[in-house]
C-alpha cells in the first residue's frame, strides 16, 4: 500500500507504539488528517505510481506510418462493456478489419488518468485499449482532456469535475509540462499506440479579451507534448491542431475569409489564423488534424445537404497547401446538424448514410487519407440513430447498423495510398450522384429522395432513394 502514498501496515504498528496512551479521539483525528492530506489514502486509493508500466500484451502496430485509414471514435458508451454476447458480436464485426479506433485520454469513456500528481488510474483506458487490441484495430489516442489539478481544480480520486465546462478547460500554462509528462506516460504504457493527436478542438483555448483563439498557448502545449512523445520513441506519430473548421453564412462579412469560401459559406478567418500560427510555429508534425461540419455555425446546409459537403473538399485543399502536403486527417466530421442536445436524429437512416458517404467522398477529394466517424453510441434502447451497432447493454445488442457498413466498406475499399481515378458519369446523372473510384471499386451515392436510373463507368443501373451503391470495376 505504500506505493499509493499512505503509511504501510508496518508503519501503523510503529505509530501505535509511538502514540500509545494518547486518547482514542486524538488518534482518530490524526488518522483523519493523514487520510485527507494531499496524496493521502482517500485521495489516491485505487491508483498506482507505476503508470508507465506496460499494460497487457501490446499488439504489433498495423500502420506504423502517418496514415491509418478510415475508422471511428469511441465515445461515452462502447462495446468494451455490456452483455457478453452483445460485446462479442461487435468484436466479431470488427475482427480482421484493421479499422482504426480513437480513444480519448480523459472523458468519452475514460476516467481521470492522474487524479493526483504522480498517481495514475488507467483502468478505463486499459479496457478500451484491450478492446481495440482484441478486435485487431489500429489504436489512436487523442490527448485530451486534463486532470483537475492541472487546471485549477482539486486533486483526488473523488474530486473530478465532470461538467462540460470543467472537462473542456485547458491546462494552466504552469502545468503544460505536467500534461506533456502524462502524455509520455501513456506512450510508455501502450507501446503499440503509434499515433497521438494533441488535444481536441482547442477546448479551453479561446481568448475572450481578444475574441480569437489562443493559438500561442495551444502551440506551446503542442510543442511540449510533441517533444515528450518523440523522446519516448522517435517513431511515434504526432499530429494536431484538431481545430474546428467553422464556416459562416456567405452573406456574413465579419470574421469571414475572403479566400476560402463557396456556396456553402465562408471560412471563419479566426480559425485560419489559428491554423496558420500553429503551422508556422509547430515543433513538428507527422500528420495534420482538423475537424468540422459541412454546415455553418448557424446550422445552415448551403445550398443543400449534399452540396454543402463541398466545404470539406475546400478545407482539405487549403490545409494541404499550407502544410506542404502533410497527411490530412479528419478527427471528426458532421453533415447533419444537431438539436438542442446535440443529438442527430432528424433524418432517416438511408438519408443520413447517403450524406455521410458524400462527406467521405468530399474529404478524399480534398486530400484526406484518414478520417474518424464520431460514433454516437447510446447506453440502452432498441434504436440508435447514426450508430455503428445497437447498444451492447442488452442481450440482443451489438447488431451492426447501416453506418457500420458504410465506414467499414469505405476503409476496406479506399485504404491509405489509394490512387483515385475519374470515371464517366452520364451528363443527365451528374447533378444527382456523387462518385468516388479507384481501379477496383466505384462508390455511387444517389442524392435524391426518389429512385433513379444512373449510368456510371459504363454501367447502367437503378438506384433507390438515397441509395449508396458499390460497383466492382471490370
In a 3-state reduction of DSSP, which class is residue 40? coil
User: For residue 349, which phi and psi values (nearest 5 degrees)?
Assistant: -65, -40
- For the cut 70, the answer to whether the pLDDT of residue 35 exceeds it is no
Taking phi over 0 as left and psi of -120 to 50 as alpha, with beta for the rest, 21 belongs to left
State whether the Cα torsion 262-264-266-272 is positive or negative: negative
Evaluate the omega torsion of the peptide bond into residue 202 and state whether it is cis, within 30 degrees of 0.
no
Chain segment 190-238, per-residue pLDDT in tens: 999 999 999 999 999 999 999 999 999 999 999 999 999 999 999 999 9
- For the cut 80, the answer to whether the pLDDT of residue 32 exceeds it is no
Chain segment 82-98, per-residue pLDDT in tens: 999 999 999 999 999 99
317's enclosing H/E stretch is helix 310-323
Which of these ranges, 58-67, 177-186, 423-432, has the smallest mean pLDDT?
A: 58-67
Whose cell is 450524406? That residue is 355
Measured CA to CA, the distance from residue 132 to residue 103 in angstroms comes to 9
The CA–CA distances, whole Å, from 328 to 64, 239, 359, 375 equal 16, 9, 15, 20
Chain segment 273-297, per-residue pLDDT in tens: 999 999 999 999 999 999 999 999 9
pTM (two decimals): 0.91
The rounded percent of the chain whose pLDDT value lies above 70 is 91
Chain segment 230-277, per-residue pLDDT in tens: 999 999 999 999 999 999 999 999 999 999 999 999 999 999 999 999
Measured CA to CA, the distance from residue 370 to residue 331 in angstroms comes to 8
pLDDT at 62: 73
Neighbours of 418 (CB within 10 A): 17
Gyration radius of the chain over CA positions:
25
Angle, in degrees to the nearest 10, between helices 269-281 and 310-323: 30
- For the cut 90, the answer to whether the pLDDT of residue 381 exceeds it is no
The rounded percent of the chain whose pLDDT value lies above 90 is 87
Helix runs in 164-206, H state only:
164-167, 176-189
pLDDT at 38: 53
Mean pLDDT, the chain, whole residue set: 92
Please compute the mean of the pLDDT values over residues 164-175 and round it to a whole number: 97
Q: Three cell numbers at 116?
A: 493526483
pLDDT at 411: 98
Our CA dihedral for 75, 66, 406, 145, rounded to 10 degrees, sits at: 10
Determine contact, residues 375/74, Cβ cutoff 8 Å. yes
Taking phi over 0 as left and psi of -120 to 50 as alpha, with beta for the rest, 415 belongs to beta
- For the cut 50, the answer to whether the pLDDT of residue 161 exceeds it is yes
Amino acid at each position: 500500500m505504500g506505493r499509493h502514498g499512505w503509511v504501510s501496515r508496518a508503519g501503523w504498528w510503529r505509530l501505535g507504539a509511538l502514540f500509545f496512551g494518547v486518547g482514542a479521539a486524538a488518534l482518530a483525528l490524526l488518522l483523519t488528517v493523514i487520510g485527507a492530506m494531499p496524496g493521502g489514502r482517500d485521495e489516491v486509493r485505487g491508483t498506482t505510481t507505476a503508470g508507465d508500466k506496460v499494460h497487457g500484451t501490446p499488439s504489433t502496430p498495423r500502420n506504423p506510418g502517418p496514415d491509418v485509414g478510415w475508422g471511428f471514435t469511441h465515445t461515452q458508451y462502447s462495446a468494451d462493456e455490456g452483455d457478453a454476447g452483445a460485446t462479442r458480436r461487435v468484436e466479431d464485426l470488427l475482427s480482421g478489419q484493421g479499422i482504426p479506433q480513437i480513444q480519448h485520454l480523459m472523458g468519452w469513456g475514460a476516467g481521470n488518468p492522474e487524479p493526483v500528481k504522480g498517481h495514475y488510474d488507467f483502468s478505463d483506458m486499459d479496457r478500451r485499449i484491450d478492446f481495440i487490441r482484441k478486435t485487431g484495430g489500429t489504436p489512436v489516442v487523442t490527448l485530451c482532456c486534463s486532470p483537475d489539478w492541472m487546471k485549477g481544480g482539486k486533486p483526488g480520486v473523488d474530486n473530478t469535475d465532470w461538467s462540460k465546462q470543467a472537462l473542456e478547460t485547458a491546462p494552466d500554462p504552469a502545468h503544460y509540462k505536467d500534461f506533456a509528462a502524462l502524455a509520455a506516460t501513456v506512450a510508455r504504457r501502450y507501446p503499440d499506440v503509434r499515433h497521438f493527436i494533441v488535444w481536441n478542438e482547442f477546448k479551453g483555448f479561446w481568448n475572450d479579451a481578444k475574441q480569437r483563439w489562443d493559438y500561442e498557448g495551444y502551440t506551446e502545449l503542442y510543442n511540449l507534448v510533441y517533444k515528450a512523445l518523440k523522446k519516448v520513441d522517435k517513431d511515434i506519430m504526432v499530429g494536431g491542431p484538431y481545430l474546428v473548421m467553422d464556416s459562416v453564412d456567405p452573406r456574413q462579412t465579419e470574421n469571414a475569409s475572403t479566400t476560402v469560401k463557396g456556396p456553402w459559406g465562408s471560412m471563419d478567418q479566426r480559425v485560419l489564423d489559428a491554423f496558420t500560427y500553429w503551422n508556422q510555429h509547430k515543433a513538428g508534425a507527422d500528420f495534420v488534424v482538423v475537424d468540422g461540419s459541412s454546415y455553418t455555425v448557424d446550422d445552415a446546409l448551403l445550398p443543400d445537404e449534399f452540396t454543402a459537403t463541398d466545404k470539406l473538399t475546400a478545407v482539405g485543399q487549403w490545409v494541404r497547401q499550407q502544410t506542404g502536403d502533410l497527411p490530412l486527417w479528419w478527427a471528426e466530421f458532421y453533415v447533419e446538424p444537431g438539436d438542442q442536445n446535440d443529438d442527430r436524429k432528424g433524418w432517416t437512416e438511408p438519408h443520413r448514410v447517403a450524406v455521410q458517404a458524400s462527406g467521405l467522398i468530399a474529404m478524399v477529394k480534398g486530400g484526406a487519407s484518414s478520417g474518424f466517424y464520431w460514433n454516437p453510441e447510446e447506453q440502452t434502447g432498441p434504436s440508435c440513430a447514426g450508430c455503428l451497432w445497437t447498444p451492447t447493454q442488452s442481450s440482443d445488442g451489438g447488431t451492426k447498423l447501416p453506418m457500420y457498413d458504410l465506414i467499414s466498406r469505405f476503409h476496406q475499399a479506399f485504404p491509405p495510398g489509394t490512387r483515385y481515378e475519374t470515371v464517366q458519369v452520364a451528363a443527365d446523372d451528374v447533378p444527382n450522384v456523387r462518385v468516388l473510384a479507384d481501379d477496383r471499386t466505384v462508390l455511387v451515392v444517389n442524392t435524391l429522395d426518389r429512385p433513379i436510373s444512373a449510368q456510371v463507368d459504363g454501367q447502367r443501373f437503378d438506384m433507390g432513394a438515397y441509395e449508396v451503391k458499390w460497383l466492382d470495376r471490370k
